Structures are given as structure tokens and as C-alpha cells.
Structure 1
Amino acid sequence: MNHAGDLVNHAGDPVNHEAPHAPRAARDRLRALRGRSARRDRVRRRALAAGALTLLGALGWTVVSGALAEPADAEGKPLIVPAHAVGEQRTAFGYGDPNAPHVLTVRFDPRDPRSATLERELGSTVRELADKGAYRIEYHGTTLQDGKDGGRGSARALNALGAAAEQGPKDFAALFAALAARPAASGTDGAFAEPQRLMEIADEAGVRTPAFDRAVTENTYAPWVAKATGQHNSSGTSDVLLDGRRLHDDHTDARTLSAVEFRGLTEGLLPVARR
């Protein structure tokens, strides 16, 4: 017997007031759950995309309309390799006798103050031993500072070094030393993004020619710089290795090897260094 006021269906069974709403409530809960899940997925995808873009930026690449593209300076230009480029893919600046028994690898970024200090401390000694035939040098340029701080100073300086290398290893070395004597301030492009300033530094170093000016103004070696840094950026910068063995491994501060320390480390490996 039903209490007064209760509704019954035709079969005499009580009507459940909540039944018609239960499926809708379940659907609402499911919709809310899916909405939260979708939002989490979107956040996760954005985080992954941001991380990928950060990595690509550190490698000196840009993304245009969702597609990987070469750095802007290299766009639409032919790949021209500077003379005296060395390495398996010819992505390093070469110095010294190519038949020397050992290889000294110098990793550098023109905008990195540590690289500038390393060159000022060691550059003349490193090249002096190369001139004696102790080893050949492979200079691996990077653009990590461009990726970290923004700007194009490292890439533009590497293009200028390519123009100097085209004229000969001695011209490359002279400009390399001159750039290190004027390191860009951390977090800024400094003067290295300005073609006119690069030409003035080359003039002071005694390597400026009409061909050099043209290559700097037109960014002739930008595609080569993009290829080289795409290969070398992942290995770091401000480092020196002899036959693959790191000689300078302090990446926590600006300390660099002195010329005396360098000679001490290489003396046992390179008899010619004692001459």
C-alpha cells in the first residue's frame, strides 16, 4: 500500500523521482572529467612544445608556421664552405698542418666571455705549438649565447670568421684573437651583430678586404654557420680537447687554463712541445 501523495505507474509500482535525472548526472560528471583531462593534456602538450622550442632556439634554429626552418640569416642562400674548413663535414675552422699527428679541438662561442678569456689566455700558445707541428687545430664555433640571450651576434661573428678563413688560416686567427679582445657583454648582442663593427675589428686586425666586407654585409657564410652550429652546439662551448680528451673541463666559472698549465698538460703527449 502506498502512502498518500506517492505516485504510481500503471503497474502500480512507485515512481522514482531521481531515476530520469541519474543518467544526465552521470553524463555531466563524465563530461566534466573529460574536460579536466583535456585541459591537462593541453597543458602537457604546451609544456612539451615550449621545451622543444627552447632546445631549437639553443641550437640556433627557428620555427616558422609550425615548421622547422633555418636561421633567418641563412634563408634562401646557397651553402658556401669557407676555404680551409676541416672535419668530416667540413664544419670546423682549420689551423696548422693537416697531416699533424694529433688534433686539438677548441670549442667556442664568440659572445661567450669564457671563450674570450680562453682565447686571450691560451690562443697564442695553442697556435705556436700548432705552427711547430705538434697538432692541428679544429675550431668548433657555436651559437649557444644567441639561443640563450637572443640576438644574432654569435652567428654574425662566425660568418665574419668564415670570411677571414676564406683568406687563410692566419687571417682567421688574427680576427679570432681580435674578437676575443672585445667580448660582447653577457645578455647583449654587443657589437658582433653589426656588420660595420665587424669590419672595423677586421680592419684593426689587418684582415679587412673588399671580399671580406662583401661577405660580412651579405652574410655569405650564414648557411654554413647554420650547418656547423647545428652540429657543434650540442657539445657545449669554451672547451679544449686533445685527441678527444678534455683539457679544460671547468664549466662552473670563468676559470681557464693558463699557458703554463696548457704546456704542462700537453708536454708528455707532444714531444715537439718541449722544443
Structure 2
Amino acid sequence: MARTLKQAIDEHRPLVVPSIYDGISALLVRDLGFHAAYIGSYATGAAKYGVPDIGYIGLEDMADQVRRLAPVAGVPIIVDGEGGWGNPLHVARSVQVLERAGAAATHIEDHVFGKHLIGKSHILPVGQAVDKIKAAVDARDSTNFMIIGRTDSFLTEGPAAAVDRVLAYQEAGADGVFVAGYLDAENQSRLRAEARVPIFTVDLPTRSAADHGAEGADVVLYYALAHQAAINGIRAALEVLAREGSTTSIEKELGSVVDLDAFLGIGPAREKARKYGLLD
């Protein structure tokens, strides 16, 4: 990996990080020149199993995605570490597994259950969440592997308490902080003033990456973009096929199999085959 995630964050403010969930999305991120990519449990559950993001996805699901996609994308990978899949001992092992799989960073969150199901998730006491961050920091092999402390307490405890929490995670050794939720101007200003580490956020409706950067974000995760686009594109094509019994009306938009093969690297594969005497 040519650049570390820390270097990418230093060089691009804010760093725009699209999601990947399969080989095609990983190739597109590489080809379009992005400097980092995100593998989330949301996209992983949707792509691998067709399930919502309510805790079905385990450590090995995420590690498998990293092992397969990091070499394809060729950029630092930020991976969703959920709540570390257990207590601080489990968090430590999760960090080791994800780092060895090829991730550049993981975020560890403080919710117990309820994310995406209810407005107010069940949140760990802050002391227990701090212990998870400490365990994550202690477990990594390299300081280049970033531990990001995430809070989902925004709706449960309010924005001020959410800022308190991520600042506590910073004190515990987190290399980045991430409030999952909207912060008002007062709390955004406080977080920006007191954070000594990069601030992560997700893209919010009506806001550009530049808007997020102006509000203090150093990294913007576009966690749902790739699979949202895929769902809409596949649905549109299949609706044409179901309605018309043909795809002739959208052949121009689809492109050809020749184009697809070229995107997937058939040219270099042919050259290697000729080199080794497999083709005339």
C-alpha cells in the first residue's frame, strides 16, 4: 500500500471515502483515483446476504471482505468494526484479525443493540466503551493502523453527551473520533476545538463533502453510495427486461461485454497467457 490512511487524511481535507462491497466497486474506486475506501457492515450484509444492518454480520464476514477487496482497491481500507463483537478481549482479537486481513483502520462503536431499528439505541456505559477503545489500541501491531472511537449515543443522550463520549475515547487512545448523528453548530465547534485527532463523519443529506469539511470533518464516509447505486441500476435494467422481454432498448446504456471484459482486465490477462504459451 503506497500511502497510509494517516497520510491520505493529512493530504486531503476532507478525505472523501466511498464504500466498496464487491470486486466491481473496488475496481471503480481504484480507477477513479480515490485515496481510501470504506467497507461497512451495512453494505456487506446487503451484498452478501440481502439482510438489513441490525447485527447479523460477524467478524469473519468483515475480515473476508477486507482480504478480498483491499488488494483490488489498492488504497487504505477503513472497516466497520461494529462494537468489536463482544467484550474488550473480543475487541482485541477483532482488531488483530482485521489488521492482518489488510485493513488500515477500524471504528469501534458503543451501541449494544437497536441501531437502525429504533430511534434510541441501547448504549454502553462510557467506562465500558472506553475499555474497548483501550483494548483495541493495545492489540494492534502497528500504530499506522487507526482505531476510531465511534458513538451512537446522539439520539439517546443528546449531542453534547455524544461529544463528551468521543473526547473520552480520544483520551483512551483513539486515533480518530466519529459521532454517528447530526451535531448542532455549538457542539460541532466544541468537537473541532477539542479534538486532537481526525474527525470522521458520514455523508448527510443536502451536504457536500466540502460542507462537512467546513463544519470540521476530516474524513467523510459515503457508506451507502455504492450499493444504493447498484440497487437502482440493477432494478432499472431488470424492470426493462421484465417489461419488454429484451434489453435491446438499453444496450447503449449497458455497454458491451467487450467493454466489461476490458474493465475487468482481460487485456493484461491475454498478454500473460501469451507469455506463458497458453495462446497463439
Question: Could you tell me the TM-score, scaled by structure 2's length?
Answer: 0.28
Query: Larger relative CO (CA 8 A, sep 6+): 1 or 2?
Result: 1
Greater Rg by CA? 1
